[in-house]
A = this chain, B = another copy of it.
Amino acid sequence: MEQLIVEKQILELGLDKNQVIVLDSGKSFGPISIAYEIIGTLNEKKDNAILICHALSGDSHVAGKYALEDKKPGWWDVMVGPGKPFDTDTYCIICSNTLGGCRGTTGPASINPVTEKPYALDFPVITINDMVKVQKLLIDHLGIQQLYCVAGGSMGGMQALAWIINFPSMVRSAAIIASAAYTSSLGIAFDKVGRNAIMSDPNFGSGDYYGRTLPRHGLAIARMIGHITYLSDESMRKKFSRSLQDKDELSFELSDDFAVESYLEYQGGSFVQRFDANSYLYVTKAMDYFDLPGKYGSLEKALKDVTARMLVVSFTSDWLFPTYQSVEIVKALMKNRKDVSFCEIQSSAGHDAFLLEFEKLGRILQSFLGNGRTGS
């Protein structure tokens, strides 16, 4: 198959005051740059666009490569491309880096026009809603009145939920994968410890570490904690068991002995190369704040105006966003007599299943997307 080559684009907003957004905190914020990538062609009616929303550590680079020599394609390349579930021969796939991120969209590492230095902790606390408000500016800019679908896993699913609630007429269908209508206290707990690790790294200072030594240790610890929660007891048993790393016997040293330790060490180390610690603080905080039942009184009330055709998918071994949280969404939609399909996929891969179980998930998504196709 021919290699899909994609390009990151930047939309600059906020040069005039109309493009400054009002955040959920009440603060106005701008200017805003949005990094986004488009794969496939927007048709004349502009009704074949699918917005894919990324998870905590994702970015706009959803599929393809920037150049042939790139080692890896985008994060959901197995799902997005010609003939793939998100079929770029049919659909125009849009993916943008979220507000607060560190991959081109305005975030804490961006320059604060007032101080002409990076925002650092002067960046405002944002919400999933705020991320979606920014995405809407991009969709408006592209002249799209209605998205064929908004889809996302994990935090991406939260954004899709915010879309169908805030802009119901703009979303024809939505796929909520391995996600939830609120972050559980378990999720908040892990996020809190990750933030604590970052903020107690002596290189963190008060977040103003740009151009200096970065709080690598703290961010690596946060990432390692995250990684454990993305796996499952079963997937770790299958993947690592109690195998030793590069040795035949226990070392009787305090250093790493086991393969799972080396794996985490590697994951932590590689993450700090590509992710900004302050973004980790802001994006996890946005997730922790996500609470549709709390905001609307009940999940049923939150979803009452939804018009999108819905797909909800969970995975059996996902203990970070367990099936019961998907079922809560499904039940609330059904009580509102909405069009919803639900599937719990058998998988040992834990939360990461939304990235790994691409065959099972792909078939379900393909069928869901195809069901609503207009023949365009």
List, in ascending order, chain B residues with CB within 8 A of A253's CB: 125
Closest B residue, CB atoms, query A27:
B252
A177–chain B nearest beta-carbon distance, Å: 19
- Beyond A124-B252, A233-B322, A322-B233, whether A188 also contacts B221 by CB under 8 A is no
Contact status B182-A196, CB under 8 Å: no
- Give the interface segment out of A34-42, A138-146, A281-289: A281-289
Q: Is A83 an interface residue (CB 8 A)?
A: no
List, in ascending order, chain B residues with CB within 8 A of A289's CB: 250, 257
Closest B residue, CB atoms, query A123:
B254
- The number of chain A residues touching the other chain, given as a range, is 35 or more
Q: Is A271 an interface residue (CB 8 A)?
A: no
Which residues 251-268 of A have a CB within 8 angstroms of B? Answer: 251-254, 256-261, 264-265, 268
Pick the contact of A185 from B199, B258, B319 — CB < 8 Å? B258
Please report the C-alpha to C-alpha distance between residue A175 and residue B184 in the assembled complex, in whole angstroms: 34
Which residues 116-150 of A have a CB within 8 angstroms of B? Answer: 121, 124-125
List, in ascending order, chain B residues with CB within 8 A of A124's CB: 252
Q: Is A202 an interface residue (CB 8 A)?
A: yes
A291–chain B nearest beta-carbon distance, Å: 6
- Beyond A217-B200, A252-B125, A254-B285, whether A242 also contacts B189 by CB under 8 A is no
Q: Is A355 an interface residue (CB 8 A)?
A: no
Contact status B185-A236, CB under 8 Å: yes
Contact status B182-A242, CB under 8 Å: yes
List, in ascending order, chain B residues with CB within 8 A of A24's CB: 252
Please report the C-alpha to C-alpha distance between residue A217 and residue B185 in the assembled complex, in whole angstroms: 22
Q: Is A195 an interface residue (CB 8 A)?
A: yes
Of listed A242, A250, A258, A282, residue having the most chain B CB within 10 A: A242
Pick the contact of A221 from B221, B285, B291 — CB < 8 Å? B221
Q: Which 3 A-B pairs have the closest CB atoms?
A: A200-B217, A25-B252, A185-B236
For this complex, 14 residue pairs linking A to B, each with C-beta atoms less than 8 Å apart, are: A124-B252, A184-B237, A185-B242, A185-B258, A186-B228, A186-B236, A188-B258, A190-B228, A192-B224, A193-B221, A196-B221, A199-B254, A254-B282, A257-B289
A182-B242, A258-B288 given; 6 more Cβ-contact pairs under 8 Å:
A185-B239, A189-B264, A193-B264, A197-B221, A242-B294, A254-B285
Residues of A within 8 A of B (CB): 24-25, 121, 124-125, 182-186, 188-190, 192-193, 195-197, 199-202, 217-218, 220-221, 224-225, 228, 231, 233, 236-237, 239-242, 250-254, 256-261, 264-265, 268, 281-282, 285, 288-289, 291, 294, 319, 322
